[in-house]
Structure 1
Amino acid sequence: MSDTPNFRLGGLTPADESSAEAEGDIGLRDDLFRTLAEHHTPDGKQSFLVIHDGSATWGLPGAPQFIALHITRDLATRTFRIEQADHPTVPFAQLWLASRGCPPDAIQLLEDQRLEPADALTVHIEGRIRHSGTRYEIKDHYTHDSVPYETWVMVRDSDSSAADLPVRIFLEETDLDAFTYTLREGAFRDGSSANQWLFDRDTPLPEPPEHLVSADRRIRAALARSTTSQPATAASVPAPTAVSAPLPGASSHRRGGRS
């Protein structure tokens, strides 16, 4: 499948001024656009796309590089409307599209247009973001598009499980040699402590306490499924899943949050 965006606007005219401006904007940059994911409704009335904007690398430092695009068509009047928004990571672009009616699992990345998630935890966190609804409010973000490649997103988590540590940092790190990436979540009491961690990087990203609860539940479930009649020993109890390893070279990274 071609990664050149197909907006399916042939024979249609903009329904309003903002859609005309959006059409002109994407037309000027479409040679730098690469489609990462797309979903088109069977009736032809809506399209949802996640696009990588190659021009972002020459823009403001730290600028987001992904565009979520929602196109609606009135086939009776032969008109269209365009909504679009910039996003720092693909899962948040998918979340934005889901809020506009796209089934979250229908906007998956194309197989030949993706880096591979390095582990199951990355896949789990991405899926949670994609299905999170209005849970996360983005407060800040930054994309570092040179070595070491990383993007962080600071959010406020409104879920009751995060009441004590409501500020979260989602940190995505990319290994272009392995063509893989990892995504981790850190939990903080407030924005100041989150920004301080981003600046210092002298400790591992502090994992959310609910991750530890989930790991404990997995251990208990594994023990309950055991068919052995022997008492569990230290060797037989599965170790908790590691959910936040120290970041490679973290102490040398000095890219803090913007004030």
Structure 2
Amino acid sequence: MSPTEPAPDRKSIPHVDFDLDGLDADEEKHLDFYRKVAVHEDMLVPLAEHHDGPNSYYVLFDRSATCGHPGLSQVLAVYLQRDHERQTFSFEKAPLPLPAMAQSWLIHRGCPSDSLALDPELGPPPADEATRTLERRLTGDGDHYAMGYCYTSDDPDDMVTVVALRALDEEAPSPFRVLVEEVDTETWTHTLREGGFDTVGEALRWCEDRLAGEAGPLPPVRPAAAASRPASLPKAPVPRPPGRSR
């Protein structure tokens, strides 16, 4: 079972409706949308959606993401803009590792922040207030960070997502952050935690150790007064599967 699917015997899985009937004037745009979004439409679960006239905002869970592609992000943010007069549409999309990051991406494209709540019956709920607080912060200030690395493991014995971020503000405390989302399949809840690192190497090494089941506790984020100037974070390090020798 995937971490953002509903708990057993709770709710049937809904299907996403992009409402594009009649918008077929631009064949190239349709093909682009099909290849990048709708090709797995029957595997997309709408965790949250908001419609504002011709504009729609979707937080989707892609159940097919890790099929044959270990580590890929399972959450997809989609922003649709319809033009009924011209009978066409445009779209933006972003695969992201965490629902809160998808919410943030859509909010910064015009979605009202209070209109994109996740369906509480789809996926495990937050286990504690620390998780809820961090998710709210990520939803609000997700544009303050650049993502350099992520890996999603849907192993039933260790459902975990790790994300390495770099603060865009050079004066930010602990310029490199690691987010860790863990799903407890027995209680059907999830936790989200954040750690702070001084260098990109330390952040990526902790992610690698966590995926191998060897990581220690996350170091706390340092106070702002102790912040140092960050170095560059590689844009897309190749994920190293759990258990691979160094």
Does the C-alpha gap of structure 1 residues 180 and 14 become closer, same or farther in structure 2, counting only changes over 3 Å?
Answer: farther
Q: Which amino acid aligns with 1:31?
A: D
Of the two structures, which has the highest relative contact order with CA contacts closer than 8 Å and spacing of 6 or more? 2
User: Which residue of 45, 64, 67 corresponds with 1:58?
Assistant: 67
Q: How far is the alpha carbon of 1:73 from its aligned partner?
A: 0.8
User: Which residue of 173, 182, 204 corresponds with 1:195?
Assistant: 204
- Structure 2 length-normalised TM: 0.78
Q: Which amino acid aligns with 1:142?
A: Y
- Structure 1 length-normalised TM: 0.75
CA contact (8 A) 1:15 1:81 kept: no
The equivalent of 1:151 in structure 2 is 161
1:30 corresponds to 2:41: yes
* Superposition pairs of residues 95-106 of structure 1, within 5 angstroms: 95-106=104-115
User: Which residue of 73, 91, 94 corresponds with 2:100?
Assistant: 91
Q: Which amino acid aligns with 1:23?
A: Y
Distance 2:25 2:95 in 1: 21
Q: Which moved more, 1:198-207 or 1:76-85?
A: 198-207
User: Which residue of 17, 24, 29 corresponds with 1:13?
Assistant: 24
Q: How far is the alpha carbon of 1:210 from its aligned partner?
A: 4.2
Q: How far is the alpha carbon of 1:101 from its aligned partner?
A: 0.9
Distance 1:120 1:4 in 2: 30
1:162 corresponds to 2:175: no
Distance 1:106 1:256 in 2: 41
The equivalent of 1:67 in structure 2 is 76
Aligned length: 213
Q: How far is the alpha carbon of 1:85 from its aligned partner?
A: 1.4
Q: How far is the alpha carbon of 1:100 from its aligned partner?
A: 1.2
Task: Pick the structure with more helix per residue.
Answer: 1
CA contact (8 A) 1:13 1:79 kept: yes
Q: How far is the alpha carbon of 1:256 from its aligned partner?
A: 8.7
The equivalent of 2:85 in structure 1 is 76
Does the C-alpha gap of structure 1 residues 14 and 178 become closer, same or farther in structure 2, counting only changes over 3 Å?
Answer: farther
Instruction: Give secondary structure in 2 for the equivalent of 1:55.
Output: coil
1:113-151 deviations in Å (ceiling 9; x for gaps): 131100011011111111115201001000011021000
User: Highest Rg: 1 or 2?
Assistant: 1
Identity %: 35
Q: Which amino acid aligns with 1:115?
A: P
Q: Which stretches in structure 2 are left out of the alignment for 5+ residues?
A: 1-11, 225-240
The equivalent of 2:191 in structure 1 is 182
Instruction: Give secondary structure in 2 for the equivalent of 1:51.
Output: strand
Q: Which stretches in structure 1 are left out of the alignment for 5+ residues?
A: 212-253
Does the C-alpha gap of structure 1 residues 24 and 62 become closer, same or farther in structure 2, counting only changes over 3 Å?
Answer: closer
1:207 corresponds to 2:220: yes
Q: How far is the alpha carbon of 1:177 from its aligned partner?
A: 1.7
Distance 1:256 1:187 in 2: 24
Does the C-alpha gap of structure 1 residues 186 and 22 become closer, same or farther in structure 2, counting only changes over 3 Å?
Answer: same
CA contact (8 A) 2:105 2:143 kept: no
Distance 1:19 1:128 in 2: 35
Distance 1:133 1:203 in 2: 26
Instruction: Give secondary structure in 2 for the equivalent of 1:142.
Output: strand
Q: Which amino acid aligns with 1:151?
A: T
Q: How far is the alpha carbon of 1:190 from its aligned partner?
A: 0.9
Q: Which moved more, 1:22-31 or 1:83-92?
A: 22-31
